[in-house]
Amino acid sequence: MSSFSTHNFVAIATFVCWFCCLATAAPLTSKAAYLLKRNSLIEEDASRKLGAKIVLTNEEKVLDDFILAEKRKLIDDSRLNQTEYMPAASFYRSKDFIDTTFAYKIIQDMPKGGALHLHDLAIASLDWVVKNATYRDNVYMCMDKDNDVNLRVLQLIPPDPFCVWKLVATERANSGDVEAFDDWLKKNISYLSTDPVTQYATVDSVWVRFNKYFAQVIGLLFYAPIMRDYYRQALEEFRADNVQYIELRSQLFGFFELDGTVHDAEFGLNLYKSVTEEFQREYPDFIGAKIILSGLRFKSQEEILNEVKIAMDLHKKYPDFFLGYDLVGQEDPNFSLLHYLDALLYPSIQNPPYRLPYFFHAAETNWQETEVDYNLADALLLNTTRVGHGFALIKHPRFTELAKENGVAVEVNPISNQILGLVRDVRNHALVPLIADDYPIVISSDDPGAWEASPLSHDFYVALMDLCGRDTALTFLKQLALNSIRYSAMSDTEKVAAKAKWTTQWDKFVKTSVEGLKPHINDRS
Amino acid sequence: MSSFSTHNFVAIATFVCWFCCLATAAPLTSKAAYLLKRNSLIEEDASRKLGAKIVLTNEEKVLDDFILAEKRKLIDDSRLNQTEYMPAASFYRSKDFIDTTFAYKIIQDMPKGGALHLHDLAIASLDWVVKNATYRDNVYMCMDKDNDVNLRVLQLIPPDPFCVWKLVATERANSGDVEAFDDWLKKNISYLSTDPVTQYATVDSVWVRFNKYFAQVIGLLFYAPIMRDYYRQALEEFRADNVQYIELRSQLFGFFELDGTVHDAEFGLNLYKSVTEEFQREYPDFIGAKIILSGLRFKSQEEILNEVKIAMDLHKKYPDFFLGYDLVGQEDPNFSLLHYLDALLYPSIQNPPYRLPYFFHAAETNWQETEVDYNLADALLLNTTRVGHGFALIKHPRFTELAKENGVAVEVNPISNQILGLVRDVRNHALVPLIADDYPIVISSDDPGAWEASPLSHDFYVALMDLCGRDTALTFLKQLALNSIRYSAMSDTEKVAAKAKWTTQWDKFVKTSVEGLKPHINDRS
């Protein structure tokens, strides 16, 4: 209903001021003075947001204008005509919409730098899992009591009173319709076969389904030859999505062979390392990948201590590829960092103290002033390099300041946070205020494979449309890409090289995009 | 699963420290030093929260312990056993649960000070509306196309092609079951007859239902004799809920008589004034009530200017009872404060400038960097006394600072924000971080009559359970009550008297509550 815009008013005010000063040197009218003050306050506020310091080139401005035009139209249409704002809706419903937008296509093309918060069992597409991995020899399936498929690579069918294991190949052949079978199989595994936002009432009930996903695929993906190809496929998909670098959390232990051999963490690390190196040789534009060992929050203190020791060994032996340690799994019902304090302090009490970098998930929770909420305090005191999720960080003023003072970036995964029940309308994401005040933030995608998101572009799109305002586009996206290099765990030297590679791709992206837009520029003027 | 608690660790650490120093003067172990540092960081963080500066008396501590015991049990049960945390669930489902809790009963008994954000058409209970107002003469009803009841007091039935007006008394008598009829009538009007959280997909669709409520009752409640009694009933209910003071937003215009007379704003103000004064004479423990004129955000600029002028006149004439001006209604699709700037600047451009206090609703919205989001900038620059809702305030670092610097309190209405679609799980309320950092905050209830909430206690309960942490109870509640006096629009002299009245009631409340708890104290030791 309202057709006044801030910019109109600013323009009027500026004109009035200029006119007053020039023509009569008379004092400003109250209204003109008010509007100048207003403009200055809004500018002061906006000057603090993430990306505000970036000065766009003329070419970038062209691109920015196109993105903003679409963004503003979507926002204004929805606000004024009261139609649903799809970019903030449940990803289950928004995904198809997002894929039709101009901004999404631009984001896909945009070199986004690194994805720094990822889990190894959900990084390649389910299409590949179904159409490639499950087509292999010795892949078995069984239906559990909830009618969910479990997949496993087996040499011999084990005695299992709860689940009847059958060869996937046979089941597929017997189904009579290969496409329908594969489609059913994918839907059965996918987190996005129903709408998680309406399907689950609580964070806990979502996590039951989420944990199920991992149970469904681990017996397939942990088969070493498949894991090798799965990871290679993930790198292909990330690169195709214009992500140049990843830091991957992995359990590392437990990759197995058909003969029953179960591998240790170093084997797992070398699997990732060799695939990464081969991939980098093939694609010199790709910056690289590094690994974070991730323990599970329900293990015993002894087991975690053992993992910390292994992490120290791997960190000494593979300093360029192995980054450090984290603990993963739903925080709320499981053990806190404090519970594992002896293990986590172990490196620092060595003589001399050993600095094992940590990358802790912390406060992916609604439980304020509880043990899990205080995972943030421990993450910060244990000198975590970054904080995974940190959803509740902003409920702690001192922790929030400390994270900024120490340059501890928060890894925000907007689609994950929505799907796992922490926020419904993504515009209400708890950490929007940190983005509005340029705290160290990176955007990642957590487990995109589990919910059929693109490697990083869907999360970047949702961040663009929901985590910043109507007047913000390319400065924000560019800063996010720069942040992903700045707050990565690469060495300073590596960062310089990474930034150079990224800059080459960025410049090319801007040029190509603007070139492609030229025929449309006249349409808009 | 985890049985370690922060307090255990602090106790151990303190003991280790004390023991080291006392026995050997040896340096602390790394772990003990860590735990001390941790404790200090957590304390530093917690020392900033709303209420942290309050030092409880021994009696208050007893009460605090009982509230905390229940709160912690609910939180721990839910977190560790993964049962639903009812205090954060949809109020449609949580209300019955809340009513069974110890904390709710204490909050009902607690003198809560003032409710500073209320709208005049939704302050008394629907039970009274149905069982009293609709039992009066000349009350008619019609069913609109959506099968919703509209109520109106009429002398003559108007020609109305869309709605057939019938006497409620006749319909009730013809129904054959008075209780069932009244129950149906109440459900038809109540916002809580279905679950708003699941019923409406977007903020806009909720507002359609919300506006319907006002349309249903306005023709009944604006009938002057009923409004007089409705307001009196509201005061009774607020007092019974141990609220001592209210600041009420009202449109003031349009109260009517059976003969068709439609009254002006001064009549409306005098209606409220006389009822308030009579009520205060009857109940000297009641602090009082004051009125804010509220225009509607879709009116023309001329109409709003006219209202501002009326507000100035009323403010001059009734400086002790009439507080100032606000604009109400859903912000998103309607006009911004900026749209009405000429009208709103009008008092300040008088010679001498007139200081008309404003109490603007601002940024009850998800639309960042839009005109409605910038209502915050205008509210602050127009020297608003408080901000109504201010849901998006925290997305603006400079505005947030300015509100604190200028002591501009935010009126937070947690149940309203949930019901009107801004937040689902109340623990994720956008303004929790401001509470964690002791910004000026008051808790109110907006339109409790529309959704069958108690006058203020349900909102206080939800604030206690969702907007602060597991270790926070009576300091928070007491500070909220104190804030409601401090940030009220009473004069300084009035505030001193108000605080004295409140303190008497508070001391009595603490004494009586602890007295009542004495039989249970031994059970707990």
Per-residue pLDDT of A311-367, as tens digits, reads 999 999 999 999 999 999 998 899 999 999 999 999 999 999 999 999 999 999 999
What is the overall mean pLDDT for chain A? Answer: 93
Per-residue pLDDT of A202-216, as tens digits, reads 778 888 888 889 999
Give the Cα separation of B440 and B13 in Å (integer): 35
Q: Are A30 and B348 a contacting pair at CB < 8 A? A: yes
Question: For A263-278, b where at least 16 C-beta lie within 10 A, e where not — what string?
Answer: bebbebbebbbebbee
Residues in a beta bridge with B295: B327
Q: Extract the tokens encoding A383.
A: 């000198």
Per-residue pLDDT of B432-467, as tens digits, reads 999 999 999 999 999 999 999 999 999 999 999 999
Q: Please indicate whether residue B522 or residue B173 has the higher confidence score (pLDDT).
A: B173
With a cut of 90, say whether residue B180 has pLDDT above it.
yes
pLDDT band at B426 (very low <50, low <70, confident <90, very high): very high
What per-residue confidence (pLDDT) applies to A10? 41
Strongest mean pLDDT among A76-85, B199-208, B481-490: B481-490
pLDDT band at B36 (very low <50, low <70, confident <90, very high): very high
What per-residue confidence (pLDDT) applies to B161? 81
A334 and B1 Cβ atoms separated by less than 8 Å:
yes
The DSSP result for B205-232, as a single string, is HHHHHHHHHHHHHHHHHTBHHHHHHHHH
What is the overall mean pLDDT for chain B? Answer: 93
Give the Cα separation of B91 and B94 in Å (integer): 5
At residue B393's C-alpha, the angle toward residues B391 and B394, to 5°, is 100
Give the Cα separation of B298 and B336 in Å (integer): 9
Smallest CA–CA separation between A300 and chain B, in Å? 11
Distance of CA A41 to the CA centre of its chain: 33
Per-residue pLDDT of A52-78, as tens digits, reads 999 999 999 999 999 999 999 999 999
The residues near A491 (Cβ < 8 Å, ≥ 6 apart) are A320
What per-residue confidence (pLDDT) applies to A522? 64
A401 touches chain B (CB under 8 A): no
- Read off φ and ψ for residue B491, nearest 5 degrees: -70, 165
Quickly count: other Cβ atoms within 10 Å of residue B8's Cβ. 11
Q: Extract the tokens encoding A203.
A: 């964070």
pLDDT band at B100 (very low <50, low <70, confident <90, very high): very high
Q: Are A432 and B5 a contacting pair at CB < 8 A? A: no
Residues in a beta bridge with B293: B250, B325
Residue A468 carries which side chain, given as an amino acid letter? C
DSSP alpha helices (H): ranges in A321-393? Answer: 341-345, 375-381
Per-residue pLDDT of B469-505, as tens digits, reads 999 999 999 999 999 999 999 999 999 999 999 999 9
pLDDT band at A224 (very low <50, low <70, confident <90, very high): very high
Residues in a beta bridge with B320: none
ipTM score:
0.91
pLDDT band at B2 (very low <50, low <70, confident <90, very high): very low
Among residues B263, B389, B396, B458, the one annotated as catalytic is: B389
Q: Are A428 and B428 a contacting pair at CB < 8 A? A: yes
B142 and B163 Cβ atoms separated by less than 8 Å:
yes
What per-residue confidence (pLDDT) applies to A20? 40
What per-residue confidence (pLDDT) applies to B196? 83
Helix axes B457-466, B102-109, angle to 10 degrees: 130
pLDDT band at B209 (very low <50, low <70, confident <90, very high): confident
Interface test with B, best of A427, A434, A439, A466 (most B CBs within 10 A): A427
Cis check for the bond before A519: say yes or no (omega within 30 of 0). no
What per-residue confidence (pLDDT) applies to A27? 60
Closest-CA residue to A220 (of A158, A130, A139, A165): A139
B55 touches chain A (CB under 8 A): no
List Cα–Cα distances, A353 to A15, A356, A470, B44, B58, in angstroms.
64, 9, 49, 28, 46
B337 and B362 Cβ atoms separated by less than 8 Å:
yes
A478 and A513 Cβ atoms separated by less than 8 Å:
no
What per-residue confidence (pLDDT) applies to B6? 41
B7 is catalytic: no
Per-residue pLDDT of A17-50, as tens digits, reads 444 434 444 566 789 999 999 999 999 999 999 9
What per-residue confidence (pLDDT) applies to A193? 86
Per-residue pLDDT of B368-403, as tens digits, reads 999 999 999 999 999 999 999 999 999 999 999 999
Taking residues A388-414, what's their average pLDDT? 97
pLDDT band at B10 (very low <50, low <70, confident <90, very high): very low
Q: Is the dihedral of CA B66, B69, B71, B77 positive or negative?
A: negative
Strands of A166-167's sheet in order across:
A149-153, A139-143, A166-167
Closest-CA residue to B112 (of B495, B460, B469, B462): B460
A174, containing H or E segment: helix A168-175
Among residues A315, A389, A429, A458, the one annotated as catalytic is: A389
Cβ-nearest to A378 among B38, B84, B85: B38
Q: Are A333 and B38 a contacting pair at CB < 8 A? A: no
Cβ-nearest to A9 among B84, B201, B338: B338
What per-residue confidence (pLDDT) applies to B17? 40
B341 touches chain A (CB under 8 A): yes
What own/partner pairs with CB < 8 Å and gap ≥ 24 does A284-288 have?
A285/A244, A285/A501, A285/A504, A285/A505, A286/A235, A286/A239, A286/A244, A286/A245, A287/A114, A287/A244, A287/A245, A287/A497, A287/A498, A287/A501, A287/A502, A288/A245, A288/A490, A288/A494, A288/A498
With a cut of 50, say whether residue B3 has pLDDT above it.
no
Instruction: Look at residue B406 and give its three-state secondary structure.
Output: coil
A69, containing H or E segment: helix A58-81
The alpha-carbon radius of gyration of chain B (Å, integer) is 25
What per-residue confidence (pLDDT) applies to B27? 60
What per-residue confidence (pLDDT) applies to B28? 65
The residues near B334 (Cβ < 8 Å, ≥ 6 apart) are A1, A2, B297, B298
With a cut of 80, say whether residue B26 has pLDDT above it.
no
Per-residue pLDDT of A428-467, as tens digits, reads 999 999 999 999 999 999 999 999 999 999 999 999 999 9
Whether B102 has a binding-site annotation, put simply, is no
Give the Cα separation of A490 and A498 in Å (integer): 9
Closest-CA residue to B491 (of B360, B325, B320): B320
Q: Are B377 and A2 a contacting pair at CB < 8 A? A: no
List Cα–Cα distances, A107 to A445, A510, B21, in angstroms.
14, 11, 60
CATH code for residues B99-125+223-506: 3.20.20.140
With a cut of 70, say whether residue A5 has pLDDT above it.
no
A436 and A48 Cβ atoms separated by less than 8 Å:
yes
A378 and B31 Cβ atoms separated by less than 8 Å:
no
B31 and A345 Cβ atoms separated by less than 8 Å:
yes
With a cut of 90, say whether residue B187 has pLDDT above it.
yes
What per-residue confidence (pLDDT) applies to A194? 85
A351 touches chain B (CB under 8 A): no
Q: Extract the tokens encoding A359.
A: 């990358």
Closest-CA residue to B247 (of B295, B291, B312): B291
Per-residue pLDDT of B245-260, as tens digits, reads 999 999 999 999 999 9
Give the Cα separation of A388 and A139 in Å (integer): 34
Q: How big is chain B, counted in residues?
A: 525
Give the Cα separation of B452 and B95 in Å (integer): 9
Closest-CA residue to A432 (of A445, A419, A414): A414
Percentage of residues of chain A with pLDDT beyond 90: 85
Q: Are B45 and A341 a contacting pair at CB < 8 A? A: no
What per-residue confidence (pLDDT) applies to A82? 86
Closest-CA residue to A465 (of A477, A453, A452): A477
CB contact residues (below 8 A), chain A span 84-143, against chain B: 84-85, 88
Residues in a beta bridge with A409: A386
With a cut of 70, say whether residue A14 has pLDDT above it.
no
Q: Extract the tokens encoding B22.
A: 């006392």
Q: Is the dihedral of CA A225, A226, A227, A229 positive or negative?
A: positive
Q: Is the dihedral of CA A464, A468, A469, A475 positive or negative?
A: negative
The residues near B345 (Cβ < 8 Å, ≥ 6 apart) are A30, A31, A34, B382
Which residues of chain A neighbour B469 with C-beta distances below 8 Å?
368-370, 373, 395
Q: Where are the domains of chain A?
A: 99-125+223-506
Which residues of chain A neighbour B4 with C-beta distances below 8 Å?
336, 338-339, 371
Pairing label, strands A441-443, A409-412:
parallel
Percentage of residues of chain B with pLDDT beyond 90: 85
CB pairs under 8 A between A and B: 214
CB contact residues (below 8 A), chain B span 353-382, against chain A: 366-374, 377-378, 380-381
Cβ-nearest to A4 among B42, B89, B336: B336
Among residues B364, B396, B429, B452, the one annotated as catalytic is: B364
What own/partner pairs with CB < 8 Å and gap ≥ 24 does B36-43 have?
B37/A381, B38/A338, B38/A377, B38/A378, B38/A381, B38/B9, B38/B13, B39/B6, B39/B9, B39/B10, B39/B13, B39/B14, B41/A377, B41/A380, B41/A381, B41/A398, B41/A399, B41/A402, B42/A374, B42/A377, B42/B6
With a cut of 70, say whether residue B15 has pLDDT above it.
no
Taking residues A182-203, what's their average pLDDT? 89
Q: Are B369 and A430 a contacting pair at CB < 8 A? A: no
List Cα–Cα distances, B20 to B16, B23, B33, in angstroms.
6, 5, 11
Nearest C-alpha in A relative to B7: A371
Interface test with B, best of A199, A428, A468 (most B CBs within 10 A): A428
Give the Cα separation of A113 and A243 in Å (integer): 5
Beta strands (DSSP E) in A271-321 are 288-296
Percentage of residues of chain A with pLDDT beyond 70: 94
Which residues of chain A neighbour B72 with C-beta distances below 8 Å?
none
With a cut of 90, say whether residue B150 has pLDDT above it.
yes
B369 is catalytic: no
